[in-house]
Amino acid sequence: MKVLVIGSGAREHALCWRLASSPRVRQVLCAPGNAGIASSAKLVPIQPTSVSELLSFAQENGVDLTVVGPEVALEAGIVDLFESNSMPIVGPSKAAAMLETSKSFAKEVMVAAQVPTASYEVFTSEKPLRDYCVKLGAPLVLKADGLASGKGVFVVMKNEDFEPAFAALFGPLKAERVVVEEFLEGVEVSCIFASNGHEVIALAPAHDYKRLLDSDDGPNTGGMGSVCPSPRINGAELEWIQEHCAAPVLAEMKKRGTPFKGFLYAGLMVPTDAGKRPLGMRVLEYNTRLGDPECQSILSRLTSDPVDLFEWIAGVQVEKPVVTWSNLTSVCVVVASNGYPEAVVKGDEIVGVELASLVPGVVVFQAATTRGPKGALLCGGGRTLSVVGVGGDVGTARQAAYKAVDMIQLRGNRTRRDIGV
């Protein structure tokens, strides 16, 4: 069969790489893809938000199944359009993707579904928001309602940090609604669930590292690394999360006439004190897609055929597939470009990726890379490489990943050294 993957990040590279090894797949296509993805898929020069063009392409080229990577395509209504034209697609409808695209909608659904989450208030203007923040004082978490690539969340730990957060929210972010949440302590875990709108399958749990710098310092990013399986929760806790944080939301979405099909990513804050788990666990957010860089470490451990899972989600296959995982651990280290996240530098040459990929147990996924006129690999800015090491335990996986990272040169790159520590 022919599978089309939408997106151009390292997550989509991992999807194409894994699909290319499926015995059921004859051709992988990727729109628009990148220079790294070209080794696993045929590139199609159409942007993820050009949904009508993508539909025409898929129809004219006999695409059997489409897998959506980024949320921007979901928000542009790609799933609604493909489904109304009987083209199988993996991802939620625009209405169901609101669980990610609107923080206030997600909160409202969580309350209706009785999902454990931080207490919150929603504000639509600056004055009442200010008064509320002054009254309660730090720590509080302020979130712009809408997609902001992880840059719309302000964890305000000191009262003097409210002003810069207001300035960003009502300045560059132009937030029309702001969610203010109670500050939660603990560590984060990313639990991703596949659903066909009725039933649910838990993927292996992972965790990512949101802050730019080692020891969880610096600004929030889309994620600077990931580990799978996450040692932060055990199997019984994952089941509890499925029962209390995924299934009720899926049931609520179905009840509202907007069933959720696709990947529901629950980002949780988990108390470090085992005595406070599972009851003290709280959902921070939902994403309506595979996480990036979680997907890179999760798919590196998937041993069953991804097509069986994708077809089940898309409703092509009715029987629930058995999803299996290797008992290895994977550690993904992100090599971000110079200046990430505030002022990304584009166009620098990346050297050493081929060599790094030869390290045993390592795969290097690329994001937004291009080729220069003489074939040099060029950085497109942002979280450029996802270097995944797989090993018998987290230490071995980590060692492999960093051995490969150290073979790569990218001027001024931003790379954490403590992923998986």
Binding site for ligand GLY (CB under 6 A): 208, 222-223, 287, 291-292, 294
Helical axes 162-170 vs 126-136, angle rounded to 10°: 160
Which of 11, 143, 277, 289 binds ligand AMP (CB under 6 A)? It is 143
- At 122, phi and psi to the nearest 5? -110, 135
* Residue 287 interacts with, from ligand AMP, ligand GLY, none (CB under 5-8 Å by kind): ligand GLY
**Chain residues 86-125 in contact with ligand AMP, contact rule CB under 6 A:** 118
**Chain residues 168-207 in contact with ligand AMP, contact rule CB under 6 A:** 181, 183-184, 188
In the complex with ligand GLY, which residue's Cβ is closer, 48 or 223?
223
> Is 155 near ligand AMP (CB under 6 A)?
yes
> Is 305 near ligand AMP (CB under 6 A)?
no
Query: How far is the C-alpha of 234 from the C-alpha of 47, rounded, in Å?
Result: 39
Place of tokens 């009840």: 255
In the complex with ligand GLY, which residue's Cβ is closer, 285 or 305?
285
* Residue 220 interacts with, from ligand AMP, ligand GLY, none (CB under 5-8 Å by kind): ligand AMP
> Is 361 near ligand AMP (CB under 6 A)?
no
The answer to whether the CB of 248 falls within 8 A of the CB of 114 is yes
Strand partners, 5: 30, 67
* Residue 356 interacts with, from ligand AMP, ligand GLY, none (CB under 5-8 Å by kind): none
Residues in the chain: 421
In the complex with ligand AMP, which residue's Cβ is closer, 150 or 248?
150
* Residue 364 interacts with, from ligand GLY, ligand AMP, none (CB under 5-8 Å by kind): none
Q: Is the dihedral of CA 298, 300, 305, 311 positive or negative?
A: positive
The CA-atom distances, in angstroms, between 251 and each of 23, 103, 305 are 34, 19, 27
Which of 12, 285, 294, 311 binds ligand AMP (CB under 6 A)? It is 285
Query: How far is the C-alpha of 156 from the C-alpha of 64, rounded, in Å?
Result: 47
Which of 107, 210, 289, 383 binds ligand AMP (CB under 6 A)? It is 210
CB of 169 to ligand GLY, least distance (A): 19
Q: Name the CA dihedral angle for 98, 313, 234, 12, rounded to a multiple of 10 degrees.
A: -70
CB of 409 to ligand AMP, least distance (A): 30
Cis peptide before 128 (omega within 30 of 0): no
Query: How far is the C-alpha of 154 from the C-alpha of 157, rounded, in Å?
Result: 9
Query: How far is the C-alpha of 182 from the C-alpha of 168, rounded, in Å?
Result: 20
> Is 141 near ligand AMP (CB under 6 A)?
yes
End-to-end CA distance of the chain: 41
Query: How far is the C-alpha of 251 from the C-alpha of 193, rounded, in Å?
Result: 14
> Is 153 near ligand AMP (CB under 6 A)?
yes
* Residue 294 interacts with, from ligand AMP, ligand GLY, none (CB under 5-8 Å by kind): ligand GLY
Please name which of 397, 276, 398, 408 lies closest in space to residue 336, comparing C-alpha atoms: 408
In the complex with ligand GLY, which residue's Cβ is closer, 64 or 292?
292
* Residue 118 interacts with, from ligand AMP, ligand GLY, none (CB under 5-8 Å by kind): ligand AMP
Positions in the binding site for ligand AMP (CB under 6 A): 118, 141, 143, 150, 153, 155, 181, 183-184, 188, 210, 220, 267, 284-285
